[in-house]
Structure 1
């Protein structure tokens, strides 16, 4: 089941929001490069409280797994601009009404399983569909380079903009193009044999 809501609406989806925060916490425990890069890694941060971002959360039926992502417009405060930019030489300051920032893309699902992969793809499809419906052309995100394995598995690799090192960990900034073709590609992935 997919849920879409803003921080200001979280009280209406409190159990889903709490599961999402638990998933973030577990993600940081499973991917120590994030924790080492930004210690301490808050489960709910200032961007949640100040910017009323939008969340897309997928809950696996009966399995308890969670996949989620946070989306913010690039016309206001962003993690890339305010937190990450000093670590990336020559990183452009992206401010555009048709580009969103994606952050906290995480899951507790086993993405090497069909159910786990499909949960992540459902979240990504919802991100792309909502972005496309709102005239968004691109989505930008910062990620540890080790997370490229997940993007490869989902066949959804970002186009790299720049790379850098944060506290000894390799990170990248990448962009995903939003188009009907990209959305169709994600839908077709779920139809393929696993």
Structure 2
């Protein structure tokens, strides 16, 4: 059980993880939340699933996705800027230091304790990935309840934008999530996580000079700050 950083370039290295993450997205966002988004053969996808995206996928011992999050640099086309810029109190960002975070979810068939673990490790994984790749904030698009009762409750600092809209069963909003070492430490402390959650070498973003998901310097930091 681990958190993978998947992309179009490395998906073939991880068995069922890639396709099962699209199945899980269908289960969460179409089946459970009733979103009107593209689907095919019980796989959920959209126009922002591009080579620029990185996917944090929590996989079980059978290599099946049980938790997901999608990250996109705001220097490339992204959902909030393209579809809902009015959710922001200013112009949509276009900078390497802010990435969009969407499609955050967890398999509801898991036990409550396992769901809590999956969610906490996904959040830690997003923070670790951000620290390793020069990201200062995520611009999230999520149900307001997820911001309040999941992301903020886990220990992250979030600035929810005022505007929201109703999608499926939820009020959805945009919000800025700070990516800091102190946030990572707080999330780890609350969840009882004592080491890096990201798996191996699948998260490179070449323009930041890292050959794996967490640089040597950042891996040393994130592996020890909660020890």
TM-score, with normalisation over the residues of structure 1?
A: 0.82
Q: Say whether the 8 Å CA contact 2:74–2:98 is kept in structure 1.
A: yes
- Give the alignment of 1:18-167 within 5 angstroms: 18-28=19-29, 29-32=31-34, 35=35, 39-42=36-39, 43-48=44-49, 50-61=50-61, 66-86=66-86, 88=87, 90-109=89-108, 113-147=112-146, 148-151=148-151, 153-156=153-156, 158-166=158-166
Query: Structure 1 residues 63, 188: closer, same or farther in 2, change over 3 A?
Result: farther
Task: Flag the 1:153–1:65 CA change in 2: closer, same or farther, 3 A.
Answer: farther
Paired residues of 1:165 and 1:171 also in contact (CA < 8 A): yes
SS in 2 for 1:8: coil
Deviation at 1:67, TM superposition (A): 0.5
Which string of whole-angstrom CA distances, capped at 9 and with x for unpartnered residues, describes residues 111-141 of structure 1?
8822211111111111101111111111111
Aligned residues: 185
Which shows bigger deviation, 145-154 or 124-133? 145-154
Tell me how far apart the structure 2 counterparts of residues 7 and 102 of structure 1 sit (CA, whole Å). Answer: 17
Report how far residue 153 of structure 1 moved. Answer: 4.8
1:7, distance to aligned residue in structure 2 (A): 2.1
Unpaired segments ≥5 residues, structure 2: 194-227
Following the alignment from structure 1 to structure 2, what is the Cα–Cα distance between the partners of residues 75 and 63?
Answer: 32
Task: Give the Cα–Cα distance (whole angstroms) in 2 for the partners of residues 100 and 151 of structure 1.
Answer: 16
CA distance in 2, matches of 1:163, 1:110: 32
Q: Which moved more, 1:10-19 or 1:157-166?
A: 157-166
Higher fraction of helix: 1
- Check whether the contact 1:66–1:108 (CA below 8 A) recurs between aligned residues: yes
Q: Describe how 1:174-193 pairs up with structure 2 within 5 A.
A: 174-191=175-192
1:148-194: per-residue Cα shift (whole Å, max 9, x none)? Answer: 333355344621123222468532110111111001011111229xx
Whole-angstrom CA distance in 2 between matches of 1:24 and 1:6: 16
